[in-house]
Amino acid sequence: MRLLVAGGAGFIGSNFVHHMIKFHPEDTVVNYDLLTYAGNLENLKDIEDHPTYHFVHGDIRNRELLEYVFDQFDIDTVVNFAAESHVDRSITEPDLFVKSNVLGTQNLLDVAKSKQVTKYLQISTDEVYGSLGADGFFTETTPLAPNSPYSASKASADLMVRAYYETYGMNINITRCSNNYGPYHFPEKLIPLVITNALEDKELPVYGDGQNIRDWLYVEDHCAAIDLVLHKGKPGEVYNVGGHNEKRNIDIVELIVDTLGKSCDLIKHVSDRPGHDRRYAIDPTKIETELGWKPQYTFETAIKKTIQWYLDYEDWWRKIKSGEYMDYYKKQYGSKSYVK
């Protein structure tokens, strides 16, 4: 396989590049990434000189560069992770999300079509299905009902990918996973934000009542699922990927505080995210029964591994949590009032 990984310098993308180099050393992996604030080549330092790995600094909206890269490396397979990925940022800058996530995906798809790739896999999210009440699960046939500019941009991209299957007969797949966690997770997201703030004895902001539920998936389990879909996914199919692992936000925060031996006094309930989805929960029956995928990690094991990674890689997150990150943090959390 001669694989283009778009967005391979981000959290999941860099874990996936590591996965491919480890399990498919015969494949060529070209990481094509714009290196936005979320893209970080430090994530790939250990493999930067690996003979089958290549990095290209580029935007998925840049047709000319993409065409050159597809030709240069004779690309036959594409996985698209490239996106603006943070819901809070989409509330303040929705236009950026439309540009990268919708227009970028359409451009990448179009180049992939013109170069006649054998497979295009779009990495999507359970957020396209909207919010659940206390019961039920998202299946692949749940209607799309996105609530944030982020999820609306991801749903739009999914519809474009579907259209390229129906109209042009491209061999596409879409995976929709739940919340990932693990190494290289950017510390604007709940789990790494709480771990690193706790290590710095800073306040731990919990939106609203903290009862919102997310269905957590260890990133290595997610990478294994993507690998399976790439190799065995049936043309045109959507696969939901989830870890059967629903947790309330407040329980996650308390678990991290306990594990690090910190005080619960650090936890602060702040004003809620506008349009905050209440509950996500994935039914992964299709990928389990049709492709034989199963998560290998329990939450208890993987959250400990993740916390230990942030203890071991302090330099990685301390470098990020300075400069531009602090400007974002002040803007985002400075405007949030505390809920007594």
Catalytic residues, by residue number, are 126-127, 150
Site string for ligand NAD, 277-296 (x = CB under 6 A): --------------------
Strands (E) in 213-277, as ranges, are 213-215, 217-218, 238-241, 246-248, 267-270
Q: Which of 83, 191, 238, 257 binds ligand NAD (CB under 6 A)?
A: 83
Distance CA 62, CA 242 (A): 33
Distance CA 109, CA 221 (A): 26
- How many chain residues touch ligand NAD (CB under 6 A)? 30
- What residues between 263 and 282 interact with ligand TDX by CB under 6 A? 273
Smallest gap from residue 28 Cβ to ligand NAD (A)? 19
Nearest to 122 by CA among 7, 294, 23: 7
Q: Which of 2, 24, 54, 61 binds ligand NAD (CB under 6 A)?
A: 61
| Closer by beta carbon to ligand TDX, 5 or else 190 | 190
Q: Is 59 in the site for ligand NAD (CB under 6 A)?
A: yes
Q: Is the Cβ–Cβ distance between 299 and 216 less than 8 Å?
A: yes
| Closer by beta carbon to ligand TDX, 72 or else 271 | 271
User: Which residue number places its CB atom closest to ligand TDX?
Assistant: 125
Q: Which of 212, 240, 245, 306 binds ligand TDX (CB under 6 A)?
A: 212
Q: Is 306 in the site for ligand NAD (CB under 6 A)?
A: no
Distance CA 205, CA 308 (A): 21
Longest CA–CA separation in the chain, Å: 59
- What residues between 124 and 143 interact with ligand NAD by CB under 6 A? 125
| Closer by beta carbon to ligand TDX, 14 or else 125 | 125
Q: Which of 34, 44, 47, 229 binds ligand NAD (CB under 6 A)?
A: 34
Q: Is 29 in the site for ligand TDX (CB under 6 A)?
A: no
Distance CA 291, CA 332 (A): 41
User: Which residue number places its CB atom closest to ligand NAD?
Assistant: 10
Cα separation values, 153 from 2, 159, 172, 315, Å: 28, 10, 18, 33
Q: What three-state secondary structure class fits 4?
A: strand
Nearest to 224 by CA among 293, 290, 140, 291: 293
| Closer by beta carbon to ligand NAD, 78 or else 266 | 78
DSSP 233: P
Residue 212: name its binding partner from ligand TDX, ligand NAD, none (Cβ under 5 to 8 Å by kind): ligand TDX
- What residues between 169 and 198 interact with ligand TDX by CB under 6 A? 179, 189-190, 193
Q: Is the Cβ–Cβ distance between 37 and 31 less than 8 Å?
A: no
**To which residue do tokens 């990133």 refer?**
219
Distance CA 45, CA 264 (A): 36
- What residues between 44 and 103 interact with ligand TDX by CB under 6 A? 85-87
Token pair belonging to 249: 């936000």
Q: Which of 40, 100, 125, 156 binds ligand TDX (CB under 6 A)?
A: 125
- How many chain residues touch ligand TDX (CB under 6 A)? 16
Site string for ligand NAD, 149-168 (x = CB under 6 A): -----x--------------
Residue 129 neighbours by CB under 8 Å, 6+ apart: 138, 142, 143, 144, 145, 146, 176, 280
| Closer by beta carbon to ligand NAD, 59 or else 220 | 59
Q: Is the Cβ–Cβ distance between 83 and 99 less than 8 Å?
A: no
User: Please, what is the end-to-end C-alpha distance for the chain in angstroms?
Assistant: 55
Residues making contact with ligand TDX (CB under 6 A): 85-87, 125, 127, 179, 189-190, 193, 205-207, 212, 214, 249, 273
